[in-house]
Amino acid sequence: PPAPPPDNASRGEPPEPPEQPATPGVDGWGLASGGGGARDAWFRTSLAPSEMITAQSALLEREAQESSTTDEELAGRRAANGSSERGGAASTPDYGEKKLPQALIIGVKKGGTRALLEAIRVHPDVRAVGVEPHFFDRNYEKGLEWYRNVMPKTLDGQITMEKTPSYFVTNEAPKRIHSMAKDIKLIVVVRNPVTRAISDYTQTLSKKPEIPTFEVLAFKNRTLGLIDASWSAIRIGIYALHLENWLQYFPLSQILFVSGERLIVDPAGEMAKVQDFLGLKRVVTDKHFYFNKTKGFPCLKKPEDSSAPRCLGKSKGRTHPRIDPDVIHRLRKFYKPFNMMFYQMTGQDFQWEKEESDK
């Protein structure tokens, strides 16, 4: 018989309580359980029952608690101590008042959220926390005053922002954010879930070189080709699953979906959409970017002064390990129905399938 999948300890993750089966028809995602309605029937034609996903809040919580880069872990501790970094133009004086954010970058991990934050902070009417506060997932019990204190001071007409990518996969985050400000603007940077998963694994591998290969972690059963959707690197990319939770609290008009791919090939075009969505003048334009061939993505330059261009740190743009093409093929097949549903839910076609067929 095939070897059992590795336990969490061999992945370098903490042990988990045993998973409970989904209650039939609770959320329409517990497909193997039946009773989930038309969506279940639609999905059942695309995926084997053993690949079906159950929307378990415990798993979502585990993902939310997973760290980003080592630098960002340190930054999180600084945020927890009430420190904050100044955002926006360097000329903005340090006075004004601290306000709760009017816009959040809520996801996704390894999608391009840091690049987006750094670009939008160039705008003089944006002030953003440089670190990830993790308020709505890890620090909620500290209260809104703690959260407000983490924010930079703003002047009238300036927008306060923060980014914490784990919010998108945190079950409680939409309700908590809605209770703070039901008219808040939400930004989600999404990327082809296959390359996102590999990027996620690459980041973990850089910190824990002893972890098993991507192939071992990605499958419940390699012989049968069953994808392990409980592994957070895979699960985060099931965007339709997470978005359903947000749409219970926020209309689509309050959520902007930014393409992580287009953020690389046309940063000014994507930033125009972001500025329009936030009700800002289009100040951040193509003159703020140049393409760094070594990194393989755009870097920011400040045309108004002679300071050195700002590129993202060494934790970004890592070279991905080579993954077996059969594994890539199976992952694409696994994600395809979820991508189709995501396109339908958002009214946007991110063309991840076309991108893959071009390769």
- Taking the chain, what is the end-to-end CA distance rounded to the nearest angstrom? 35
In the residue annotation, 110 being an active-site residue is answered as yes
Judge whether 113 is annotated as a binding position: yes
Judge whether 313 is annotated as a binding position: no
- C-beta neighbour count of 231 within 10 angstroms: 23
- C-beta neighbour count of 43 within 10 angstroms: 21
Judge whether 123 is annotated as a binding position: no
**CA 121/CA 129 separation, integer angstroms:** 9
* Residue 91 near residue 133, CB atoms below 8 Å: no
**CA 130/CA 140 separation, integer angstroms:** 19
Judge whether 302 is annotated as a binding position: no
Q: 10 to each of 5, 46, 99, 208, how far by Cα in Å?
A: 10, 31, 44, 11
68 class by beta-carbon count within 10 Å (0-12 exposed, 13-18 middle, 19+ buried): buried
* Residue 102 near residue 177, CB atoms below 8 Å: no
Judge whether 320 is annotated as a binding position: yes
| Catalytically annotated residue among 109, 110, 163, 185 | 110
Peptide bond preceding 169: is omega within 30 degrees of 0, i.e. cis? Answer: no
Judge whether 359 is annotated as a binding position: no
The three-state secondary structure class of 41 is helix
The three-state secondary structure class of 280 is coil
Nearest by Cα to 280 from 126, 155, 116:
126
Nearest by Cα to 189 from 261, 120, 122, 127:
261
Judge whether 230 is annotated as a binding position: no
Judge whether 111 is annotated as a binding position: yes
Judge whether 134 is annotated as a binding position: no
Judge whether 199 is annotated as a binding position: yes
178 class by beta-carbon count within 10 Å (0-12 exposed, 13-18 middle, 19+ buried): middle
Judge whether 317 is annotated as a binding position: yes
Known binding residues are: 110-114, 191, 199, 316-320
Known binding residues for 3'-phosphoadenylyl sulfate are: 110-114, 191, 199, 316-320
Catalytic residue numbers? Answer: 110
